[in-house]
Every structure is written in C-alpha cells, then in structure tokens.
C-alpha cells in the first residue's frame, strides 16, 4: 500500500528569493493528487523537496514516519527507495540505452541478478509500450517516448510513492490520455501514493482525487478535487479557464492598475482568451481499465471525503454528492458490461471486469506502439 506524505509549514528560498512559504498538505496514502500552478511558482522545487533533493529552511516532510528534512543521509537513502520519480525532462542518461536507464535504479539499489534485472526492466518497458525500444539511446527517440521511458524507470523499484513532474508536457492529447490512464491503472494495481504536477486542465479535471494549487508563493488550497474545481477564488478560476484577465500575470502578479484596466475591458466584452468552460460541472473521474482491480484508494478517499463533507463550501458539497452518484452509475454499468464481456468467447476464461474481485496479472495497459 502507498505511504502517506505529510508536509507541514514548509518554506523554501534560494538566497534572498523566497519560492513558497508555509506549505501544509497531506498526500493521503494511495490517493492520486495533482499540484497546479502558473509556471515558475515552484512546483518542481516542491517535488524535489519531497524527496530531499532540495533543502527547505523551515517545516517538515514526514514520509513513513521519518522527517526527511532532518534525517541522516543514510536514512534519506533508504526513504528514497520508496519513491519513483518522473522528472520534468525525463532526466535520462544520454549515453545509456533505455534498457540501461531503466535498469539503473535496480543495479544501484538492489542486489538482483542480471537475469532478474532483465525480467523487471522488460516488464516495465512493456507496460509503457517500449518493449521494442530497449536498445535505443534517449537521443534517438521522441520526447514522448523519453517521457514514457522515464516513467518505466520510475516504476522499477515498485515505488510506494510516485511523483510525476508534468507527465503530459510534450505529449499530444491522445498520448496524454494514455499516460493518464496508465497512472490510474498503476494506482489500481499497486495502490501507490501519486502526485502529478501539471498545467493540463484535462488531467486535473479527470485524474486526481485531490488537487492543490500554488500561487503567490503560497498553497492556495489543497483538498478533494471538487473543492478546487468549484472554487470562486479568482486565481483558481483564471487558471482553470486559461484567461488573460485575472490576478495571474505574464511574470509576477499584476498590479492593481492593470487589473482594474482589464476588468474594464472584460466588462466591455473584450475576450481574455479563456475557454469559458464551466468547471463547476464535474467530469467523472477516469476509472481503471477493464481487467484492473478496483482502486482501493478511491474507496478510502470516498470515506474520507464523506467525513469532512460538512466542513466544505456549499458548492463543493453539491458537486461531491453529484460526482459520487455519477461514479456509482459508471461503476455499475462497467460491472454489467464486464459480466457480458466475460461471457464472450474472446474473453473466455478471462478476468473479471471492473468488479472489486477482478484480479489481474499486469494487464498490458499501454500499448500505443508508434512514436508517441
Ligand atoms: N536550484 C535552483 N537554484 C536557484 N533557483 C532555483 C533552483 N531551482 C529552481 N529555482 C527557481 O525557483 C523558481 C521556481 O522554479 P520551478 O520549481 O522550476 O517552477 P515550476 O516548476 O512551477 O514552473 C524559479 O524562479 C526558478 O528559477
Ligand atoms: Mg516545473
């Protein structure tokens, strides 16, 4: 099962430049969370602070009972084995094949024999649709393939916590959907705690159980996805709709004069370019593929949200009740469909579909092939 990561009062600066301050949030065990925020707000810095690659000057990061901001380097080395990290740029070694890149953590952190290493590496490369690309160098493949190789490498130690820094950047919408589905399927299979850093609104709307947003050097909010998606916070609304008009500016935050001027333009009907979508209408969360077990974390999440429901804003409560009902409907429809499919000869002797008893060996979830 995944491990809870609890961040309390975390503050990070580089020299005199404060990046963010007093960040407090808990990534609940096994749940999928997303961290949004404009470019340069320190999302990648936050991710690196979670694995102790950067050192915050205040606050704590408790992983599996250990405060990694204060522990010894020996302890940190052990704790890091719990993590699988997909860095923003893939961070592959340019002179190593994809196979060797993926094998690296195993050779570094375990005493497995080469044949065991080969078995695990091939299984993970297969999972991300790169089984035939093991002998390629990172420079010979597309950005999307590098990203998937980075994910394969992040998975080889069977991590209990998976951190993904912009898994979608450089990917087209279809490949983004594949990689999102893969993360949900992995979550269903190994119940790992997942944090996705992203700008991608589609991912934010359909993948995570929880969402947070960094803005103006602070965590604006963090909680069940419906809370952020129905928020009236101007920065949140602007970010979701991708509009020019609002508190988020091109570089730093806007001054009052500019904001007033823009409000005037908006009133006069000038477009700020955003989508005008109604994000308070919640899209059902993406479910694991047929053949996958049910997400245990989704069950825990629902119980947790149920308990804190009365503390949430009215709009969020309504959205949560509606999305729970919609999820139930989808789940029941999937169960019915699964029962039908199981009867068909194509799936004879096959696995259950969509039900909680559905057991799975590694279902080949991602077989995009091609040059994603
Ligand atoms: N190692 C570092 N040394 C100094 N400044 C850094 C370092 N890493 C990041 N920064 C600064 O921290 C800020 C946040 O960066 P980053 O976390 O990459 O933003 P985001 O991922 O949200 O786009 C930027 O201003 C960046 O220049
Ligand atoms: Mg970043």
Q: What mean pLDDT is reported for the chain?
A: 85
Is position 149 within any domain?
no
pLDDT of 362 reads: 38
Distance 209 CA to ligand 2 centre (A): 21
Query: In terms of residue numbers, what domain contains 15?
Result: 1-82+159-254+263-343
Q: Is the CB of 37 under 6 A from ligand 1?
A: yes
In a domain, 71, yes or no: yes
Looking at the CA of 167, which ligand is closest? 2
Q: Is the CB of 41 under 6 A from ligand 1?
A: yes
Domain assignment present for 74: yes
* Nearest CA, atom 24, ligand 1: 40
pLDDT value at residue 359: 34
Tell me, using a 6 A CB cutoff, whether residue 40 lines ligand 1. yes
Q: Identify the CATH number of the domain in which residue 69 sits.
A: 3.40.50.300
Distances in whole angstroms, Cα of residue 252 to Cα of each of 2, 290, 334: 37, 45, 46
Does residue 370 surpass a pLDDT of 80?
Answer: no
- Ligand 1 atom closest to the Cα of residue 47 is 17
Q: Each residue of 16-61: pLDDT tens digit? A: 999 999 999 999 999 999 999 988 899 999 999 999 999 999 999 9
What is the reported pLDDT for 371?
44
pLDDT at 364 > cutoff 60:
no
- Domain count of the fold of the chain: 1
Model confidence at 355, pLDDT cuts 50, 70, 90, reads very low
Which residue CA neighbors atom 12 of ligand 1 most closely? Answer: 42
| Ligand that comes closest to the CA of residue 46 | 1
Task: State CA 280 to chain mean position distance.
Answer: 21
pLDDT of residue 348: 52
The DSSP secondary structure of 46-82, one letter per residue, reads HHHHHTTSS--SEEEEEETTEETTTS-HHHHHHHHTT
CB 362 within 8 A of CB 291: no
Which is more confident, 364 or 311?
A: 311
Average pLDDT over residues 121-125: 94
Q: Could you tell me which residue, 334 or 153, shows the higher pLDDT? A: 153
Q: What is the pLDDT of residues 284-301, one digit of tens each?
A: 888 898 888 999 999 999
Residue 90: CB within 6 Å of ligand 1? Answer: no
**What value does the mean pLDDT take over residues 345-366?**
42
| pLDDT average, residue stretch 351-356 | 38
Atom 6, ligand 1: which residue's CA is nearest? 14
Q: Is residue 179 part of a domain?
A: yes
| pLDDT tens sequence across 177-223 | 888 998 999 999 899 999 999 988 889 989 999 999 999 899 999 99
Indicate whether residue 344 lines ligand 1 (CB < 6 A). no
Q: Is residue 348 part of a domain?
A: no
The string of pLDDT tens digits covering residues 57-110 is: 999 999 999 999 999 999 999 999 899 999 877 788 999 999 999 999 999 888
Ligand 1 pocket check for 36: Cβ under 6 Å = no
Nearest bound ligand to the CA of residue 166: 2
| pLDDT single digits (tens) 306-336 | 999 999 999 999 999 998 898 888 878 877 8
Within-domain flag for 364:
no
Buried b (16+ CB within 10 A) or exposed e, 282-296: beebbbbbbbbbbbb
Q: Which residue has the tokens 């694991």?
A: 288
Determine, yes or no, domain membership for 225.
Answer: yes
| 85-91-97-102 Cα dihedral, nearest 10 degrees | -10
> Alpha-carbon distance 341 to 345, whole Å?
8
pLDDT of 353 > 70? The answer is no
* Residue nearest atom 4 of ligand 1, based on CA coordinates: 14
The ligand placed nearest to the CA atom of residue 38 is 1
45 close to ligand 1 (CB < 6 Angstrom) = yes
Query: 87 alpha carbon to ligand 2 midpoint, in Å?
Result: 9
What is the number of the ligand 1 atom nearest to the C-alpha of 48?
A: 17
279 lies in some domain: yes
pLDDT for the residue 347: 60
In this structure, which residue's CA is closest to atom 14 in ligand 1?
A: 42
């Amino acid at each position: 099962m995944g491990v809870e990561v609890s961040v309390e009062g975390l503050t990070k600066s580089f020299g005199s430049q404060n990046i963010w301050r007093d960040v407090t949030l808990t990534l609940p065990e096994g749940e999928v969370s997303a961290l949004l925020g404009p470019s340069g707000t320190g999302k990648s810095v936050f991710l690196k602070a979670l694995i102790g690659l950067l050192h915050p000057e205040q606050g704590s990061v408790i992983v599996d009972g250990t405060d990694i901001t204060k522990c010894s380097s020996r302890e940190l080395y052990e704790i890091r084995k719990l993590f699988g990290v997909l860095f923003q740029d893939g961070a592959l070694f340019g002179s190593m094949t994809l196979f060797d890149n993926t094998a690296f953590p195993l050779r570094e952190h375990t005493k497995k024999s080469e044949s065991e290493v080969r078995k695990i590496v091939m299984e993970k490369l297969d999972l991300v649709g790169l089984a035939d690309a093991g002998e390629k160098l990172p420079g010979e493949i597309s950005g999307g393939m590098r990203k998937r190789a980075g994910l394969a490498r992040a998975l080889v130690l069977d991590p209990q916590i998976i951190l993904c820094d912009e898994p979608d950047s450089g990917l087209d919408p279809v490949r983004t959907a594949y990689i999102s589905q893969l993360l949900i399927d992995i979550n269903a299979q190994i119940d790992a705690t997942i944090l996705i850093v992203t700008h991608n609104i589609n991912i934010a709307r359909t993948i995570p159980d929880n969402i947070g947003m960094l803005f103006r050097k602070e965590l604006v909010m963090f909680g069940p996805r419906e809370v952020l998606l129905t928020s009236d916070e101007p920065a949140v609304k602007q970010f979701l709709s991708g509009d020019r008009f609002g508190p988020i500016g091109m570089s730093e935050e806007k001054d009052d004069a500019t904001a007033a001027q823009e409000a005037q333009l908006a009133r006069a009907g000038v477009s700020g370019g955003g989508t005008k979508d109604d994000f308070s209408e919640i899209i059902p969360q993406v479910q694991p593929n047929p053949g996958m077990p049910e997400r245990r974390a989704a069950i825990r999440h629902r119980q947790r949200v149920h308990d804190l429901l009365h503390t949430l804003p009215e709009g969020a409560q309504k959205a949560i009740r509606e999305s729970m009902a919609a999820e139930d409907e989808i789940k029941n429809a999937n169960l019915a469909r699964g029962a039908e499919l199981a009867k068909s000869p194509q799936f004879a002797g096959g696995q259950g579909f969509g039900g909680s008893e559905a057991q799975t060996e590694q279902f080949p979830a991602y077989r995009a092939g091609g040059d994603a």
